[in-house]
A and B are shown apart, each in its own frame.
Chain A
Amino acid sequence: MTLKAKVYVTVRKNVLDPQGTAVERALHQSGFTAAKNVRIGKMIEMQIDESKGLSKAQAEAELKKMCEKFLANMVIEDYRVEIEA
């Protein structure tokens, strides 16, 4: 059973996201005026190496550490992890 993980890293609400603002402006200019509060994040996907023998719970704990130490900068970013078999 290969566990697959998706990590969503997003800019915290209290941090300015100039990329999101620029994209929103461009969307409006292209006629997509319904777009509001656009924020740009990252999606990182990976498989959990089955030879490590991690359970889903263990994999979740590993991913939480990966996010907090590296994949997200906790000063400015939030993260969300999704794991599926």
Chain B
Amino acid sequence: MLTEVYSADARLVWHQEKSVGDAELVVLPGGFSYGDYLRTGAMAKFSPVMDAVRGHAQKGKPVLGICNGFQILCEAGLLPGVLIRNRQLKFVCDDVRLKLETDNSPFFARAKKGSVVRMPIKHGEGNYFADADTLKRIEGEGQVAFRYVDPAGNATEAANPNGTLNNIAGIVNSGRNVLGLMPHPEHACQAVLGSEGGRIVFDSIMGSR
């Protein structure tokens, strides 16, 4: 998608590699790394490439984690909290509406806070959890990036697809350069796939090259 829609110079990095080279943006994609053994994302955090990812993040450069990528970033301590099993115990595959809750990040520099976009979710462990103090800090510091909302833009119980705390769908770290979200923006960047709502995640960061 990055090469087709954004004409980006993108390459795949195998998890055993020890460097991300001169990459500007590092993306941890969705999937089922290590078969979700032990806990989703738990084993991937020890892959050799994660040291390079951590270094990239520590330099303030952008890191994006989508779905399993978000789970890995939380397990690796690059984002606070954890993703646990969907409350209803079912895998959810659905289109959702998300509200952008912050524009304070290189990922959203050109986006409009409060925008509501549509994207698909496909996950069994998308239920965001953090202890009370951490949650208070994330909310207070404006680190919530996306919330699940209803058509009117309200974060209601009905709009919550998996029991996630405060309808949280995605967060940024305190440095605002690491973004993790459960929905799949990369599957919503071309009208032929049903929605271009995912572009909100990429437009700012890809345009600022």
A70 to B38 CA separation, bound complex (whole angstroms): 9
CA distance A19 to B127 in the complex (A): 13
Asked if residues B84 and A76 are in contact (CB atoms below 8 Å), the reply is: yes
> Which residues, 28 to 79 on A, are CB-close (under 8 Å) to B?
70-71, 73, 75-76
Residues of B contacting A: mostly: loop
Cross-chain contact A75 with B129 (CB below 8 angstroms): yes
Complexed CA–CA distance, A22 and B129 (Å): 19
Q: Which residues of B contact A71 (CB under 8 A)?
A: 38
Contact A73 B87 (CB under 8 A): no
Say how far A44's CB is from chain B's closest CB, in angstroms: 9
- Please report the C-alpha to C-alpha distance between residue A14 and residue B86 in the assembled complex, in whole angstroms: 16
Given the complex of chains A and B, what is the CA–CA distance between A44 and B130 in angstroms?
Answer: 25
A14 and B88 within 8 A (CB): no
- A46 vs chain B, min Cβ distance (A): 13
A18 touches B85 (CB 8 A): yes
**Cα A15 to Cα B129 with chains together (Å):** 8
Min CB distance B91 to A, Å, is 13
Q: Which residues of A contact B129 (CB under 8 A)?
A: 15, 75-76
With contact pairs A73-B75, A76-B129 given, residues A19 and B84 touching in the complex (Cβ less than 8 Å): no
Q: Which residue of A lies closest to B84 (CB)?
A: A76
Q: A18-B88, A19-B89 are in contact. Are A73 and B163 (CB under 8 A)?
A: no
Contact of B82 among A18, A22, A75 (CB under 8 A): A75
CB closest residue in chain B, given A77: B39
How many angstroms between the C-alpha atoms of A19 and B90 in the bound complex? 11
Instruction: Name which residue of chain A comes closest to B43, CB basis.
Output: A70
Q: What are 10 A-B residue pairs whose CB atoms fall within 8 Å in the complex?
A: A14-B131, A16-B84, A16-B87, A18-B88, A18-B89, A73-B75, A75-B81, A75-B130, A76-B84, A76-B129
Residues of A within 8 A of B (CB): 14-16, 18-19, 22, 70-71, 73, 75-76
